[in-house]
Structure 1
Amino acid sequence: MSTRSTLVVVAHPNLAGSRANAAMVAAIGDLDNVTVHDLYAAYPDFRIDVAREQELLRTHDTVVLQFPLYWYSTTPLLKAWFDQVLTINFAFTFDGTASELRGKQAWAAVTVGGDPGFYTREGFNTVAVEEYLRPLQQTLGICQFEDLGHLKVHGLMTGALSDEDLALHAKQYRALLASGGSPATTLAAVNPCGDDHAAARVLARLAGTHEDQPVDA
């Protein structure tokens, strides 16, 4: 088990009715080093307690942003959270001095409705998911986080994601959070081709019942 404390900011408008996000949250709920923070449960009226949110960020080493891709972006409440919580002098500065977030790590856990082929030059959406995540990458960089990349899973709307693959993805998610691993380095090491589902199978076998072992070992 990692000694790093991790804040998982979950931003799904209907978590109870979701498939992938609910499975992912269920997989990590009992990890001692992880705080699961459901934004839509905390702020159904979008009245964000900025002081509370900033204190949560201060008291955790790593931040994971978990959300479904909505119209090529984050969900509305997560965008409002960025706008209201990541304020000047707390999250970023204009003069190059350290923000209160400098040295913390962050990564995204994204669920995607379309199949991988939808996000290619010839596909329905014409560009890769990574292109849609560039504003998020820029935000994390400006806020002086160490950006560890993202973990994604496809096929939620098309039915291409099987129950087996979803279970493996959730197990991979748990293993990453339990170990303090990085999705960028772990997935690249396991599967350079970038097939997250195949990587999930390998990492799930690596993790087994020994979640105190680093998944990228």
Structure 2
Amino acid sequence: MTTNRTLVIVAHPNLAESRANAARLAEIKDLDNVTVHDLYQTYPDLNIDVAREHQLLREHDTIVLQFPVYWYNVTSLLKAWFDAVLVHGFAFTFDGSASALSGKKAWLAVTVGSTLETYAAEGLARRPLDEYLAPVTQTLEFCQLDYQGVHAVYGMIFDPSDETLILDAKEYHRLISTSETPAG
């Protein structure tokens, strides 16, 4: 039986100050089949090594993008990573032929400042989180990745309880260690 190799791409500009992301990473640190790749630590100068990133993507079966939602979007370095790494011929083709990413699973692990209620038709954001993440999910699908959904934890600006963070981190560990994915 082959072990599923998971690449967790972390794109948090203030990771040391993020209790939720730290809890998630602490919970998966000892998993043998997981590679944690911190973009802000690796590329503090924002100079992305595209060949290295392509190799990491090739070596893994599942790609998890872990990031905080900033202004209804991904962080700036994650956007720069998309632009530099997910290029024609590697990540996608126009003729329908397979890319280097074809068939790999991908999902999102996001932290959200506002509450779940904020992301409702009657909430402050006026639409669900999935609608704000649509450009990311469409990018993953265009790159022939098998998009599996999002695992989100809300209310980060309200200083969530340790219990909330522990439960979220345990669920994150369960998803990654069992190769399960969040419900889309």
Amino acid at match of 1:149: G
SS at match of 1:183: coil
CA-based RMSD of the aligned residues comes to: 1.3
1:95-174 to 2 correspondences below 5 Å: 95-159=95-159, 161-174=160-173
Give me the whole-angstrom Cα distance separating, in 2, the residues matched to 1:94 and 1:64.
Answer: 25
Q: Which residue of 2 aligns with 1:34?
A: 34
Give me the whole-angstrom Cα distance separating, in 1, the residues matched to 2:103 and 2:124.
Answer: 38
TM-score (norm 2): 0.97
Q: How far off its partner does 1:51 sit?
A: 0.2
Report Cα offsets for 1:99-125 as digits up to 9, x if no partner. Answer: 111010100000000011111111111
Paired residues in the alignment total: 184
Q: Which residue of 2 aligns with 1:203?
A: none
Q: How far off its partner does 1:10 sit?
A: 0.3
Amino acid at match of 1:177: I
Report Cα offsets for 1:186-217 as digits up to 9, x if no partner. Answer: xxxxxxxxxxxxxxxxxxxxxxxxxxxxxxxx
Q: How far off its partner does 1:177 sit?
A: 0.6
SS at match of 2:174: helix
Select the structure with the greater relative contact order (CA < 8 A; seq sep ≥ 6).
Answer: 2
Give me the whole-angstrom Cα distance separating, in 2, the residues matched to 1:98 and 1:48.
Answer: 24
Q: How far off its partner does 1:158 sit?
A: 2.2
Give me the whole-angstrom Cα distance separating, in 1, the residues matched to 2:162 and 2:146.
Answer: 33
Amino acid at match of 2:173: R
Moved over 3 A (4+): none
TM-score (norm 1): 0.83
Q: Which residue of 1 aligns with 2:19?
A: 19
SS at match of 1:7: strand
SS at match of 1:184: coil
SS at match of 2:84: helix
**Structure 1 segments unaligned to the other structure (5+ residues):** 186-217
Q: Which residue of 2 aligns with 1:177?
A: 176
Q: How far off its partner does 1:11 sit?
A: 0.3
Report Cα offsets for 1:43-86 as digits up to 9, x if no partner. Answer: 01100000000000000000000000000000000000000000
Amino acid at match of 1:139: T
- State the identity %: 59
Q: Which residue of 2 aligns with 1:5?
A: 5
